[in-house]
Amino acid sequence: MTTPVVSLAYHSGYGHTAVIAEAVRAGAVEAGAEVHLINVDEITEEQWAILDRSDAIVFGSPTYMGTASGAFHVFAEATSKRWATQAWKDKLAAGFTNSASKSGDKLHTLQYFQILAAQLGMHWVNLGLLPGWNSSTGSEQDLNRLGVFAGAAAQTNADEGPEAVHKADIATAEVLGRRVAETATVFRRGLAAA
């Protein structure tokens, strides 16, 4: 059986979301995947071909004004060619986002990714973690400290740079990367057995 291919199609306006992308990448690599980071605001035809041959595509964007960034929306609209031919049907999909506020409407961005994946016929992989930091014994250092289930969510203060991305959010993104890679491995085995 060959190694699963996981690609991260993401945009990062100020570098914070790139830190989360790198964490998702690290988790997927740790789980044995071949991983490609693709910055969607400068995507090439070669990178579109990588996405086409990927087993899983993880969407990522900062949350701006309650949704994914404009650059990510341009990429999403360009996937209509894949939609028309069902080129990404039955691939796995997942998502991650970052914003300055604790909520910051990150859930809407993740739901936008879920709908995009559904339109493309993809299967969504959720975070698979219980919420952290929601009891008297919890801590801001807990995995999934923001209590999001749909994907990996991060919060970084608006007046701080990428180096300030919260360590617990980085660790949570690594979990998402591992989960996507492990799920892609299971899917590959299932297809080989079918």
Nearest alpha-carbon partner for 103 in 137, 71, 148, 144:
148
User: How does pLDDT run across 123-159, given as a tens digit for each residue?
Assistant: 999 999 999 999 999 999 999 999 999 999 999 999 9
Q: What is the pLDDT of residue 1?
A: 58
What pLDDT score does 113 carry? 98
**CA-to-CA distance for 13 and 158, rounded, in angstroms?**
12
Tokens 């995009």 found at: 116
**How confident is the model at residue 190, as a pLDDT?**
87
User: Where residue 2 falls among pLDDT bands split at 50, 70, 90?
Assistant: confident
Q: Mind giving me the DSSP string for the chain?
A: -PPPEEEEEE--SSSHHHHHHHHHHHHHHHTT-EEEEEEGGG--HHHHHHHHH-SEEEEEEEEETTEE-HHHHHHHHHTHHHHHHTTTTT-EEEEEEEESSSSTTHHHHHHHHHHHHHHTT-EE--------S-STT--TTSTTTT--SSSEEEE--TTS-GGGS-HHHHHHHHHHHHHHHHHHHHHHHHHHH-
| Residue 192 confidence class, pLDDT cut points 50, 70, 90 | confident
Query: What mean pLDDT do residues 154-182 have?
Result: 97
Nearest to 145 by CA among 114, 174, 166: 166
Residue 122 to residue 190: CA distance in whole angstroms = 16
The pair of three-digit structure tokens given for residue 20, joined into one six-digit string: 């989360």
Question: pLDDT, tens digit, for every residue of 73-129?
Answer: 999 999 999 999 999 999 999 999 999 999 989 999 999 999 999 999 999 999 999
Q: Taking the complete model, does pTM exceed 0.75, yes or no?
A: yes
